[in-house]
Structure formats: C-alpha cells, structure tokens
Amino acid sequence: MPRPRIDLHTHSTASDGTDGPAELVAVAAAAGVDVLAITDHDTTAGWAAAAAALPTGMRLVRGAEFSCVSPTGRGDRDVAVHLLGYQFDPAHPAIAAEQARLRGERVERLHRMTEKMAADGYPVDSDAVFAQLPPGASAGRPHLAQALVAAGVVGSVTEAFATLLYNGSPYYVPKCDTPVREAIAMVRAAGGVAVFAHPFARKRGRIVEPSVIAELAAAGLTGVEVDHPDHAPEDRELLRALATETGLVVTGSSDYHGTNKTTPIAAETTAAESLERLLEEATGVELLGV
C-alpha cells in the first residue's frame, strides 16, 4: 500500500487563505492528499463546510492555528508564536471563552486602526471594512489592506502592509494574544492535541530558544512542526533531534494559503506514525472520513 499523503496545516477563506473550505478539500483531493487538516487562524468557522465537502476515502482533521505569545528563553521581550490545535471540542468553555475574547480584540483592533487612518484623511471607514468580511472570518489587517486597495490608496495588499500596516507603523495597533502555555492547556482541556507551528521560521522575526520548546513539551505540548516551508535544512535537523530528546511528535505541513502564498498543498507532509500518535491523544471530536 502506498504511504498516505498527510498535510496537517492549511488555511481557507475562514482566515487568510484564498480557497473556501469546500474548495480547499477539493484542491487537497486533486493533489492526492489522504488526510487533510484545516487550520485557520483563531477560528473553526471553516470546519462544517470542509466536512460537508469531504470525498470518500479522505480524512479530515479539524484544527485551528492559535495566535500566541511566548517567552524567548533569552529574557528579552515575548515573541509571537503559532500553536496548532487539533481535534479539540470547539464548544468547550475554555476554548469558547478565549476565542470570544480574541475575536473581540481583533474587531476592536481593526476598528482602531481604521479610525486612526480615517482621522489622517485616508478614505476608509469601519463599516465598509467590516461589511466585506466573510461570515465567521477573523477580522485582521488583510481586510483593511483590501479596503485600501479598493479605495485606490495603494495598488496591492503587499503595498498596504509595506507602507501603512506594518508592525510599528503609526496606524498599527498590537494584538493581545494568548500566552502559549495557556493555549496548550486550553486545547488539552478541550480534548485536543497541541503542536508548535514553525518554531524556527526565522524570516518572520525573532524565534524561541530550543529550551522553551523542551519546557512546553513537559507542559503538555504533543508535537512540533519540523518540515515547514519556512524552515532551513539545518533547523529541521535541530528540531528533529529536539523532538527525539523530548518525546515530541514530528509533523510536516505545507501551511497552504491558496494563491496568497506560493507553496502548493502537500508540499511538506507528516508520517502516518506521527499522525497516529497525535490522534491517540485527541478525544475532543471524532476523526471525520473513517
């Protein structure tokens, strides 16, 4: 039997991907993916549509990519990190309360950024920005960027980020994300498993020390994403060794975003043994497609 193709990290239009959840499933099926995880940023809004579109023979792991903050292990200021949660019960009070808090924060933040820009004479308004949001989507800077493109202020979303919406811009308002330890505890409490997403994606900014990942392994983290498009070969080796030392499950994923990024679906994959180890610990929801 051929080895299954397993991609455990993909985005739909429920966050910043360009394929709707059903389309995402179709793209995965066409690419020969046997097991797909849908992992939108801070939302499970795509789960139902993805599940409804699941073809025979394909399995769907339901997940989310949580925006978190973590100490770096160097004593400097905290750094933004991403945590993948799989097969958790989205209705669990621990999850629901934190998701509601974050959604509120995101909405508030987008309002404040839009108002700052409007006050400086930019032709944007909050109502119009929010009117274009797909239902259940987590509000974010890409939506403000799209409004700026539509208003003709900039030529592209990339230009909007480079000139007006970058971290530290006068219009930037920081987010209040979940401490990663709390996020792990929340996912575990809701019957899910937690995997540290792309911990050594250096081009995105500062990263955590390996000691932080080891501490999180002792605090309930189950896996670490090793094979990720943003990881250099030497960093993958480091992480693989760390996973062996700490007992963390090694995963690999494309972090597919449709046409918002160039990586094709299943460009990186997870071994069947790793998936099995993750699913053994996950009891929050049923695995779909079995």
Residue numbers of the site for Zn ion (CB under 5 A)?
Answer: 65, 82, 197, 255
- Cα 179 to chain centroid, rounded: 15
- Nearest-CA neighbor of 281 among 223, 215, 238? 223
Taking the alpha carbons at both ends of the chain, their separation in whole angstroms is 17
Using Cβ positions, the residue closest to Zn ion within the complex turns out to be 82
Which is nearer to Zn ion, 38 or 197 (by Cβ)? Answer: 197
Q: Give me the least distance between CB of 229 and Zn ion, in Å please.
A: 10
Q: Give me the least distance between CB of 41 and Zn ion, in Å please.
A: 7
And the tokens for 113? 């950024």
Which is nearer to Zn ion, 82 or 106 (by Cβ)? Answer: 82
Which is nearer to Zn ion, 64 or 129 (by Cβ)? Answer: 64
Q: Residue 257 pairs with which residues in a beta bridge?
A: 259
Which is nearer to Zn ion, 27 or 148 (by Cβ)? Answer: 27
Backbone angles phi, psi at 101, to 5 degrees: -60, -45
* Distance separating alpha carbons of residues 73 and 178, to the nearest angstrom: 17
Specify the DSSP class assigned to residue 136: T
- Helix 210-218 vs helix 233-246: angle between axes, to the nearest 10 degrees? 30
H runs (alpha helix) in 86-229: 93-119, 126-131, 141-150, 157-160, 180-189, 210-218
Q: Give me the least distance between CB of 257 and Zn ion, in Å please.
A: 7
Which is nearer to Zn ion, 125 or 182 (by Cβ)? Answer: 182
Q: Give me the least distance between CB of 79 and Zn ion, in Å please.
A: 13
Q: Give me the least distance between CB of 205 and Zn ion, in Å please.
A: 12
